[in-house]
Structure 1
Amino acid sequence: MSERSESITGFLISSGWADATRTTITGDASNRRYERLRKPDGQIGILMDAPVETNVPIKQFIDVSNWLRQQGLSAPTCHAVDHNGGLAVFEDFGANIVAGLADQDPARELDLYRTTLDVLLHLGNCTPMSELLEFTPEHAAGICNIAFEKYGRFHPATHGHQDLTLAVLQGLLEHHAPETNTVALRDFHAENLIWLPDRNGIRSIGLLDFQDAVVAHPAYDLVSLLTDVRREVAPETKAALVEKFVHATGRSMDAFGPTFAVMSLQRNLRILGVFARLALENSKASYLDLIPRVWRHIDEAIQHPMLAEIEPLVRNGLPVPTKDTLAGFRV
């Protein structure tokens, strides 16, 4: 038994979960690992294994979770925690993942996504947590350097375009999406949302994976939801949610178009670099299969007329993800 396994066993004993059966749950892009726990009496929980050396402190997840519940939303309660060991047992929301439900029955997608938008609109009316990072245009543009450093590392033109591209991106964000007044959970997509049929309204959407929450533009998580890199969202669903968001927040469709486009560009440039890094440095080549969809979101964003200045910089500075391009990341 490894030292980490011994630590987990000791934690489960001390927290009263030693007699639970353990089933591994498919992981995400992080270094965290999850297991579903089930006691003989039927009590269930989720074990989060987040070694402190490679993860944000579990306290951050717990603090955001507590805040979300205080706002009337559904976030998992912590049953037991070892902060120093990077271990915790959380409430189990079950396996009704919104992405899976929408894929199984496409007719449900719009209703599920509308309820999810209600969650985001509610968050927009909440006073943000004061201790969260402010996701300013400068910060948002700066963290996109990973697209050039990791995804563009084999592309000769990349380094000549990086600084100018990021500067132009920052300028576009400052002009079209300067607001930072809403808690954004950041990794907000349908695989991180759980349908809770025994709860009503906004509480029927269970929230996960929010330890990297920031204070950002009110539409940041909407853009994340609708430019999902893991599944195709129906055009009708996208249009309906954008229209509802614009109406509910008193914006105009004309002004919101470039706002959505530049935030989609920022988010997907960042993801492009993260997925390349996961393949190169963490042997997670499966993320390369998602890059063509990431690129499609980027391509769609830079075609907006208000992003004309940055379009040639992106096209000349980063390679199109052809089969040959992606082959270079498979190690």
Structure 2
Amino acid sequence: MDAVMTGRDAEIQDFLAANGLADAARAPLAGDASARRYERLTRADGSTLILVDTPAPAEDLLPFIAIGEALANLGLSVPAVHAADTGRGLAIQEDFGSETFSRLLAEDADPAPLYTLATDALITLHRSWPADKAAALGLPVYDAALFVEQVMLFPEVYGPAALGMPFSEQDRCEFETAWRAVVEPACAGPSSLLLRDYHVDNLMRLPRDGVRAAGLIDFQGAGTGPVAYDLVSLLEDARRDVAPELAEAMTARWLAAFPDRDAAAFRRSMAVLGAVRHTRIVAIFVRLALRGRRGYLVHLPRVWRLLEAQLAKPELAPVAAWFARHLPPEKRAGFVVPETA
């Protein structure tokens, strides 16, 4: 067995042995779209831990540890890191189990308590996040410039795929100008830690009290940015329909927790940042499909539906006008992504 062991296998074995887990049973877990790998480690007494194996510790393991510590200090639940070798990209962390919110919803759990818990966790975060913490951690700032830069993936990817030719330089400039006009006011309000991928796949139900019952995972890409972003990420999910009345109730719940905030401005920010997120996700899903990963295409009609609902709002008028000029309706949700680029 040792003769065929790779260098990485040997590093992992050494790491586990150094932490008293040489004899733990190992079982791979489903990962996300990144290069990280996860394994569940089961000890002789039946207790479990999670092994994290990443080739890019500076990009994900180090921020995961630092951000997790900050979140835990606010009274939120994140996996405790029991051991880490950040140089080699290995860590052993607490096992939150398998009760993701998405799994519970698929098993017909009542969505209202889960979304209420997720919203309350955001409220706790937005009430308590220290204003100077993100800078101390060296986290990126998700400001208007960065959101506009990210949304520019859409003309790069979608034009050649849907229209058979790239958008012209003038078209791209008009796209950028339209987005800048709507994103800048959307980012003008209060900011906090922005978790970025805050949705039911990244939330776990735990047997704990209060907001600690929401286990937060996959937050290593967090930065600082407008408070509306994570709430719209939760309520306008690319992978799952959320009933409009539930989304409205959660938005109202968040606003009730911050009665001094401008509710109309917050809703405008949600609309614009939701549109930013949906536009970028459309481009990402199409790019993945062109690279052979076509499983995400099942969600594309939903994302287009969410995007077009936001484009119909007055705060998105400049962007909606660009779409009306350059992308006919049949090249949106009804577009069939070709098998190859």
What count of residue pairs does the alignment treat as equivalent? Answer: 325
The CA deviation at 1:247 is 2.4
In structure 1, C-alpha distance between the alignment counterparts of 2:301 and 2:252, rounded to whole Å = 27
In structure 2, C-alpha distance between the alignment counterparts of 1:258 and 1:248, rounded to whole Å = 18
In structure 1, what is the equivalent of residue 217 of structure 2?
208
Which of 310, 319, 327 is 2:338 aligned to? 327
In structure 2, C-alpha distance between the alignment counterparts of 1:137 and 1:286, rounded to whole Å = 31
Question: 1:102-117 alignment to 2 at 5 Å?
Answer: 102-106=105-109, 108-117=110-119
Which of 81, 84, 87 is 2:87 aligned to? 84
In structure 1, C-alpha distance between the alignment counterparts of 2:296 and 2:53, rounded to whole Å = 22
In structure 1, C-alpha distance between the alignment counterparts of 2:299 and 2:8, rounded to whole Å = 31
The CA deviation at 1:252 is 4.9
Any conservation in 1 of the 2:179–2:318 contact (CA below 8 Å)? no
The CA deviation at 1:315 is 4.4
In structure 2, what is the equivalent of residue 50 of structure 1?
54
In structure 2, C-alpha distance between the alignment counterparts of 1:101 and 1:235, rounded to whole Å = 20
Pair 1:163–1:8, CA change in 2 (3 A):
farther
In structure 1, C-alpha distance between the alignment counterparts of 2:156 and 2:116, rounded to whole Å = 37
Q: Which runs of 5+ in 2 are unaligned?
A: none
Which of 147, 157, 160 is 1:150 aligned to? 157
In structure 2, what is the equivalent of residue 141 of structure 1?
148
The CA deviation at 1:314 is 2.9
Which of 29, 36, 47 is 1:32 aligned to? 36
Question: 1:202-241 alignment to 2 at 5 Å?
Answer: 202-241=211-250
The CA deviation at 1:30 is 1.4
In structure 2, what is the equivalent of residue 305 of structure 1?
314
In structure 2, what is the equivalent of residue 163 of structure 1?
173
Please tell me the residue identity of whatever aligns with 2:43: K
Q: Which runs of 5+ in 1 are unaligned?
A: none
CA deviations on 1:181-202 (whole Å, 9 max, x unpaired) are 20011111001000012x1111
The CA deviation at 1:17 is 1.9
Q: Matched residues, percent identical?
A: 35
In structure 2, C-alpha distance between the alignment counterparts of 1:31 and 1:243, rounded to whole Å = 38
Please tell me the residue identity of whatever aligns with 2:223: V
The CA deviation at 1:115 is 1.3
User: Is residue 2:100 matched to residue 1:93?
Assistant: no
- 233-242 or 163-172, which deviates more: 163-172
User: What is the DSSP-based 3-state SS (H/G/I as helix, E as strand, rest coil) of the residue aligned with 2:239?
Assistant: coil
User: Is residue 2:66 matched to residue 1:59?
Assistant: no
